[in-house]
Amino acid sequence: MKYQNNILFLFIFLLSTTIFGQENFTLSGTVYDQSSNETLIGVSVYFPTLNSGTSTNEYGFYSITIPAGKHEVYISYLGYKTTTETIDLTKKSTKNFYLFEDAENLDEIIIESNIEKTNIKTAQMSVNKLSVKTIKQIPVVLGESDIIKSIILLPGVTSAGEGASGFNVRGGSADQNLILLDEAIVFNSSHVFGFFSVFNPDVIKDVQLYKGGIPAKYGGRLSSVLDIYQKEGNNKDFKLTGGVGLVSSRLLAEGPIKKEKSSFLIGGRASYAHLFLPLVDNDNKAYFYDLNSKINYRFDKNNNLFFSTYFGKDVFGINESFVNTYGNTVANLRWNHLFSDKLFSNLSLIYSDYFYGLLLDFVGFEWDSGITNYNIKYDFDYYVRDDYKLSFGINNIYTQFNPGKIIPNREDSGILPEKLTNKYANEFAAYIEANHKINSNFTLKYGIRYSNFKRLGQDELNTYANDMPVLYNQELQKYESAVASGVTTYKRSDVLANFGNFEPRISFSYLLNDDSAVKASYNRMAQYLHLLSNTASPTPLDIWAPSGTYIKPQLLDQFAIGYFKNIKEGDYSLETEIFYKDIQNRIDYINGANLVANNEIETVILNGKARAYGLEFLLKKNEGNVKGWIAYTLSKSEQLTAGRNENEPGINNGKWYHTPFDKTHDISINASYELNEKWTFSSNFLLQTGQPTNYPVGQFQFQGLNVPIYNDNRRNSDRLPAYHRLDISATLTPSKNKSRSWKGEWVFGLYNLYNRKNAASISFKQNQETYRNEAIKTSIFGMVPSVTYNFKF
């Protein structure tokens, strides 16, 4: 007891020293872009004589407590001119800074923060940030700049291939990525089945991808967090930005509602290639459109209000007999309030919806499904002093699941209406995290998140003998779906299952010298929502399901350690990381599982485990006429589902097998060359190990047909051929841009320059002429040219 009292006394002494030790004052404020009054995220506010500094948060706010007196301060942000001022601090003060763009550029704001360089002093690791300018320079298919396609060029990030939705991070599945747009959850990030992302680059202000060491304020997914913020809108002048391409166009309007007080932003984007199909007697259609908007109002220096929305829709149809529609809708009302010069808060009310519709007119019915959540969150940043910051908050999400509904669309269809049982859940979380600079060399970030998930009552819930919805048939040596022994009805307020998890997070940075550091991190994450998909890439038809009586929440423990170095004062940077991920309760499927319109999904699911580990390497050139990076990842991603008892073999005979997103080698090279003020050239090269798949091990004859045989105990034991391609682009900026308010540029691109026919899949079927089975390779793209005209007024 005496020992414990001594520890408590020491803690109180240190805390009192922190707060009351010497005459310190707090300097706080916001950093803006001078031309638009757009707040800037991640701006460095640094006092060189004190060797102390801070950076702006997601709303451009900073706060730092330093000794009284005169101090020189540097305000720096890559792409902007560094501002130097002398501050005479005699009392707590508010000081806003306004930065000027370093050079004229087509983008209203050059979002190219110094986090694109290696920030060796912070404890944060496993995070990547790409500027909007960089994203727009990366060559992509059909010439449409794309955030998702850009982050795939980073180490540890892959996709299932061309025409595939989502992305995979460090061997995780696509549903393990938390995708946020202005804090709202986006459930499907793809347009046109993965050819485009839902994020209009003209509207985007900031993009960060967390792969590990994930801050405690984030939760609900295991692999990564893609955090995207929209611009706020120019509150000084009216501006137009847009682009016209071969298959799509976009337009962004922004301006003041009340000058320097409030502003609006509205951006639209649409594809139109389908309009030309009737010219060649083709009645099919495939198009998308989306709309972004944002309004903000600054009541005073302590209160800001924001309202942002996104709506996107895809339509794919074949001769009006098959029409597929799907899309996202999100809205967020946010209130920023400054309680004091040290305490910043953000209260958000968020709505998010993903819908999926299918019309099968030739069969005679429509299908409708989706997921909707209502989210309230309250976050705080407390700047205790210049070397100690606390972040804390709460979050509550109520989710409704519509697994599907069949609606006959004509009387003679013979289809009976059917509604799969709706599901409901509530997830609450609270967190606290400290960012603590122990000394000039050692920085520590530590925190904890507590999450509680309640599966709520529903109209009908199946029950099974011995609580076993999946049975093992000893005679046939295979798993089978059990038949429900009964059905129970619950009230909505009932709790069917209750899960609680503590999720600790810790990371540190130790400076070896001014230019290099060693970092390490550990984080635990819990995921309560699951995307039911047994394909390599998610499809719009896949269904989200909550944890409950028969589906356990997934739990992750991730460890990472790395070496980070700035070379030649940050002109070059090097990042190397080793990671290991251990996942419990990873969903697996019995052989032959049917996931579509299945009201008894628990009868095809088993709980297993997964692991992933690897080495990431990133070498970047950040300055000069030539910029770019080389990224390489060596990794392994595996899954194991053992038998539940000694009489069951499990999946794949109870042995580890490759996940569908296992890529042993992943190399990407990106480079841009600014020849002069008129011409800029860009390119990227990708090389990836082929995706795991299954090939037949034999064949048998049935009624004159050769039928391939697959071995259920060799799951994902084969691979598609290696994937690789080279893309190039050239940007022409006319000289007359300098002398007029209308500024434009031409972007010419070639995707897959050497016309590589990468395999999206390989199927096996009988040749109608030779009557022998043969492998058929399906490829999505060869070489694709593109031309886009971008403008700003």
Q: What is the mean pLDDT of residues 585-609?
A: 87
Identify the pLDDT of residue 552.
94
Is 417 exposed, middle or buried, given 0-12, 13-18 or 19+ CB atoms closer than 10 A? exposed
Contact 40, 7 (CB under 8 A): no
Q: How far apart are CA 184 and CA 220, in angstroms?
A: 13
Contact 200, 250 (CB under 8 A): yes
Identify the pLDDT of residue 108.
39
- Kindly report, residue by residue over 257-266, the tens digit of the pLDDT: 999 899 999 9
What three-state secondary structure class fits 7?
helix
Lowest mean pLDDT among 71-75, 581-585, 597-601: 597-601
Q: What is the pTM of this model?
A: 0.91
| Paired sense of beta strands 97-99 and 24-33, if any | parallel
Task: Tell me which of 499 and 772 has the higher pLDDT.
Answer: 499
From residue 605, alpha-carbon distances to 468, 475, 476, 702 in Å are 11, 21, 19, 31
Q: How far apart are CA 82 and CA 380, in angstroms?
A: 29
Q: Using the predicted structure, report yes or no on whether residue 115 has a pLDDT greater than 80.
A: no
| Paired sense of beta strands 93-94 and 24-33, if any | parallel
Q: How confident is the model at residue 206 (pLDDT cuts 50, 70, 90)?
A: confident
Identify the pLDDT of residue 255.
94
Contact 54, 62 (CB under 8 A): yes
Maximum Cα–Cα distance across the chain: 93
Name which of 261, 370, 263, 259 is nearest 308 in CA terms.
263
Name which of 502, 531, 503 is nearest 177 in CA terms.
531
Q: Using the predicted structure, report yes or no on whether residue 76 has a pLDDT greater than 80.
A: yes
Listed in sequence order, the residues at least 6 apart from 412 whose beta carbon sits closer than 8 Å to its beta carbon are 364
- Kindly report, residue by residue over 547-574, the tens digit of the pLDDT: 999 999 999 999 999 999 999 877 899 9
- Provide the CB-side half-sphere exposure for 231 (13 A, CA): 32
Name which of 701, 676, 684 is nearest 753 in CA terms.
684
Residues β-bridged to residue 194: none
Backbone angles phi, psi at 413, to 5 degrees: -70, -25
Q: Using the predicted structure, report yes or no on whether residue 576 has a pLDDT greater than 50.
A: yes
From residue 650, alpha-carbon distances to 133, 215, 587, 606, 610 in Å are 49, 36, 13, 9, 14
Q: What is the mean pLDDT of residues 223-247?
A: 91
R_g over Cα of the chain: 27
Helix, strand, coil percentages (3-state) for the chain, rounded to 5, are: 10, 55, 35
Q: Which residue has the tokens 């053992």?
A: 642
Q: What is the mean pLDDT of residues 174-192?
A: 92
Is 446 exposed, middle or buried, given 0-12, 13-18 or 19+ CB atoms closer than 10 A? middle
Residues β-bridged to residue 324: 316, 358
Contact 762, 740 (CB under 8 A): no
What three-state secondary structure class fits 64?
strand
- Kindly report, residue by residue over 325-381, the tens digit of the pLDDT: 899 999 999 999 999 999 999 999 999 999 988 888 777 778 888 999 999 999 999
Identify the pLDDT of residue 563.
95
Identify the pLDDT of residue 692.
92
Q: What is the mean pLDDT of residues 235-253?
A: 91
Helix (H) or strand (E) holding 11: helix 2-20
| Paired sense of beta strands 572-589 and 605-621, if any | antiparallel
Helix (H) or strand (E) holding 13: helix 2-20
Q: How far apart are CA 565 and CA 561, in angstroms?
A: 14
Q: How far apart are CA 292 and CA 577, in angstroms?
A: 36
Q: Write out the two tokens for 170.
A: 């460090």
Q: Which residue has the tokens 């950093």?
A: 31
From residue 473, alpha-carbon distances to 477, 534, 599, 647, 724 in Å are 6, 22, 22, 10, 44
Name the average pLDDT for the chain.
87
Q: How confident is the model at residue 773 (pLDDT cuts 50, 70, 90)?
A: confident
Say how many C-beta atoms besides its own lie within 10 A of residue 91's C-beta.
7
Q: What is the mean pLDDT of residues 167-178?
A: 93
Task: Supply angle C-alpha 657, 150, 691, rounded to 5.
Answer: 20
In sequence order, which ranges of 104-235 are alpha helices (DSSP H)? Answer: 132-137, 147-151
Lowest mean pLDDT among 14-23, 285-294, 648-657, 658-667: 14-23
Q: Write out the two tokens for 548.
A: 């409950």
Q: Using the predicted structure, report yes or no on whether residue 594 has a pLDDT greater than 70.
A: yes
Q: Using the predicted structure, report yes or no on whether residue 437 has a pLDDT greater than 70.
A: yes
What three-state secondary structure class fits 789?
strand
From residue 238, alpha-carbon distances to 33, 108, 186, 255, 737 in Å are 15, 12, 29, 4, 18
Q: What is the mean pLDDT of residues 155-165?
A: 81
Q: Write out the two tokens for 687.
A: 């090389």
Amino acid letter for position 212: G
Contact 764, 712 (CB under 8 A): no
Lowest mean pLDDT among 94-108, 516-530, 601-615: 94-108
Q: What is the mean pLDDT of residues 500-506?
A: 96
Listed in sequence order, the residues at least 6 apart from 624 whose beta carbon sits closer than 8 Å to its beta carbon are 571
Q: How confident is the model at residue 666 (pLDDT cuts 50, 70, 90)?
A: very high
Q: How far apart are CA 328 and CA 180, in angstroms?
A: 12
Q: Write out the two tokens for 231.
A: 């611009």
Q: How far apart are CA 231 and CA 264, in angstroms?
A: 10
Backbone angles phi, psi at 443, to 5 degrees: -120, 135
Q: How far apart are CA 80 and CA 781, in angstroms?
A: 39
Q: How far apart are CA 270 and CA 125, in angstroms?
A: 37
Identify the pLDDT of residue 52.
82
Q: Write out the two tokens for 607.
A: 């709980």
Q: How far apart are CA 577 and CA 616, in angstroms?
A: 5
Contact 137, 680 (CB under 8 A): yes
DSSP string over 378-413 = EEEEEEEETTEEEEEEEEEEEEEEEEEEEEESSGGG
Is 288 exposed, middle or buried, given 0-12, 13-18 or 19+ CB atoms closer than 10 A? buried
Q: How far apart are CA 745 and CA 732, in angstroms?
A: 6
Q: Write out the two tokens for 546.
A: 């909550």
pLDDT over 90, % of the chain: 49
Q: How confident is the model at residue 16 (pLDDT cuts 50, 70, 90)?
A: very low
Identify the pLDDT of residue 49.
83
Q: Using the predicted structure, report yes or no on whether residue 111 has a pLDDT greater than 50.
A: no
Q: What is the mean pLDDT of residues 217-244?
A: 93
Q: How far apart are CA 526 and CA 556, in angstroms?
A: 6
- Kindly report, residue by residue over 295-319, the tens digit of the pLDDT: 999 998 899 999 999 999 998 888 7
Listed as own residue / partner, the contacts of 715-718 with beta carbons closer than 8 Å and 24 or more positions apart are: 715/651, 715/652, 715/657, 716/657, 716/658, 716/659, 716/660, 716/662, 716/692, 717/657, 717/658, 717/692, 718/692, 718/693, 718/694
